[in-house]
Amino acid sequence: MFGFLLRRVGLVIPTFIGVSLVAFFFIRLLPGDPILLMAGERGLSPERYAELLTRFGFDRPIWEQYLGYLGALVQGDFGTSIVTKKPVMDEFFALFPATVELSICAILFAVVLGIPAGVIAAVKRGSGFDHGLMATALVGYSMPIFWWALLLIIVFSGILQWTPVSGRISLLYFFPSVTGFMLIDSLISGQKGAFASAASHLILPTIVLGTIPLAVIARQTRSAMLEVLSEDYIRTARAKGLSPFRVVGVHALRNALIPVVTTIGLQVGTLIAGAILTETIFSWPGIGKWMVDSIFRRDYPSVQGGLVLIAVMVMIVNLIVDMLYGLINPKIRYTR
């Protein structure tokens, strides 16, 4: 297991270097003068320009510039935003909990509905429920989620007026951020109605972001279940007289979940891509919206820093998923 861990972590380092190269050349490939892009100032005097040239190190050879950049990254310096003049890292981690909260809710939504639905479809293979679920899952999988979000807003916020259109919580409530998770903070604050307000703001974004993972998980659970249900040990379990619930819920599900866990892990990249759209539509103050806004504000140091930070987050999650997979499925440790 230790060797497996070491090999897996060893793969992360070249990927990180590659990611840093992409971010490094991002600023240099943009149309326009990189110094003006980095400084975000207009009408620079030649003296100021020369000063910035030295400060950002553009007068040095390119490999030296890169090593300097990589050194800064390793020390946690991800650059400074042009717009807010604050370190990109601080901005990122101020907004990150909002995205994490939304993503966790979306994944929970997908898992809680998707796994039971997939299991029932597999057990009742060929039934109306099975066909209906698979058709629905395919529609969900094909869904342009930005349109889905607009439709849900029309119906639930426009016609029915059940849910708010945007934001994380009603402006009526104000309390200090303790955990960064609005659901928990609103409970801690003890203000009446705060939790309900936070929850009602979460519903539509959760559904929108959770739709594609839900479809993927339901399909994957069904096919994994079908495979496991035809195994010999399931026949044995049935033959020795275990209740159908025990056979399906314990013996079959535990083994069917192995590929499903990987699928859930692989959804993380999809989630962040989805968060870009979902957060933009619902004005959800997370990193997805922040990245889009930064691109439009031409706050390129923020985009550059955000790229690295997001890639690092994805890499960490993938690493954790791989290790979990190695834990629950010993075969993988030796065959890879």
Partner 1 sequence: MTDIARPQAPAAGPKPVERPGRFQEFWRYFSENRGAVAGLVVFVFLVAIALAAPLVAPFHPDEQFRDRLLSPPAWTEGADSRFLLGTDAVGRDILSRLIFGARFSLFIGVVVVTISLVGGIVLGLVAGFFRGWVDTVIMRVMDVLLAFPSLLLALVLVAILGPGLMNAMIAIALVAQPHYVRLTRAAVMSERGRDYVTSARVAGAGKLRLMFITILPNCMAPLIVQAALSFSNAILDAAALGFLGMGAQPPTPEWGTMLAEAREFILRAWWVVTFPGLAILITVLAINLMGDGLRDALDPKLKRS
- State the minimum distance, in angstroms, from the CB of residue 298 to partner 1: 9
Nearer to partner 1, 182 or 275 (CB): 275
- State the minimum distance, in angstroms, from the CB of residue 187 to partner 1: 31
Question: Under the criterion CB under 8 A, does residue 18 sit at the interface with partner 1?
Answer: yes
Question: Under the criterion CB under 8 A, does residue 319 sit at the interface with partner 1?
Answer: no
Which of 62, 138, 250, 320 is the binder for partner 1 (CB under 8 A)? 138
Question: Which of 279, 274, 272 is CA-nearest to residue 201?
Answer: 279
Question: Under the criterion CB under 8 A, does residue 283 sit at the interface with partner 1?
Answer: no
Question: Under the criterion CB under 8 A, does residue 204 sit at the interface with partner 1?
Answer: no
Question: Which of 246, 229, 230, 271 is CA-nearest to residue 111?
Answer: 271
- State the minimum distance, in angstroms, from the CB of residue 275 to partner 1: 8
In the beta sheet, which residues pair with residue 87? Answer: 80
Q: Cα angle vertex 183, ends 182, 185, to 5°? A: 60
Write the DSSP assignment of 176-205 as a string of letters: --SSS-HHHHHHHH--TTHHHHHHHHHHHH
Phi-psi region of 161 (alpha: psi -120 to 50; beta: other; left: phi over 0): left
Question: Under the criterion CB under 8 A, does residue 317 sit at the interface with partner 1?
Answer: no
Write the DSSP assignment of 246-309 as a string of letters: HIIIIIIHHHHHHHHHHHHHHHHHHHHHHHHHHHHHHT--SHHHHHHHHHHTT-HHHHHHHHHH
Percent of the chain that is helix, strand, coil (3-state, to 5): 75, 0, 25
Which of 143, 199, 261, 324 is the binder for partner 1 (CB under 8 A)? 143
Question: Under the criterion CB under 8 A, does residue 93 sit at the interface with partner 1?
Answer: no
Q: What is the rounded CA–CA span in Å between residue 211 and residue 281?
A: 15
Question: Under the criterion CB under 8 A, does residue 147 sit at the interface with partner 1?
Answer: yes
Question: Under the criterion CB under 8 A, does residue 148 sit at the interface with partner 1?
Answer: yes
Question: Under the criterion CB under 8 A, does residue 136 sit at the interface with partner 1?
Answer: no
Q: What is the rounded CA–CA span in Å between residue 7 and residue 212?
A: 32
- State the minimum distance, in angstroms, from the CB of residue 240 to partner 1: 27
- State the minimum distance, in angstroms, from the CB of residue 54 to partner 1: 26
Q: What is the rounded CA–CA span in Å between residue 116 and residue 257?
A: 11
What is the longest distance spanned by two Cα atoms in the chain? 87
Question: Under the criterion CB under 8 A, does residue 73 sit at the interface with partner 1?
Answer: no
- State the minimum distance, in angstroms, from the CB of residue 154 to partner 1: 6
Residue 328 burial (C-beta neighbours within 10 Å; 0-12, 13-18, 19+): middle
Question: Under the criterion CB under 8 A, does residue 128 sit at the interface with partner 1?
Answer: no
Which of 44, 188, 315, 332 is the binder for partner 1 (CB under 8 A)? 315
Nearer to partner 1, 101 or 185 (CB): 101
Which residue ranges make up the site for partner 1 (CB under 8 A)? 11, 14-15, 18-19, 21-22, 26, 29-31, 135, 138-139, 141-144, 146-148, 150-151, 153-154, 158, 223, 226-227, 269-270, 272-273, 276-277, 280, 291-292, 295-296, 303, 307, 310-311, 314-315
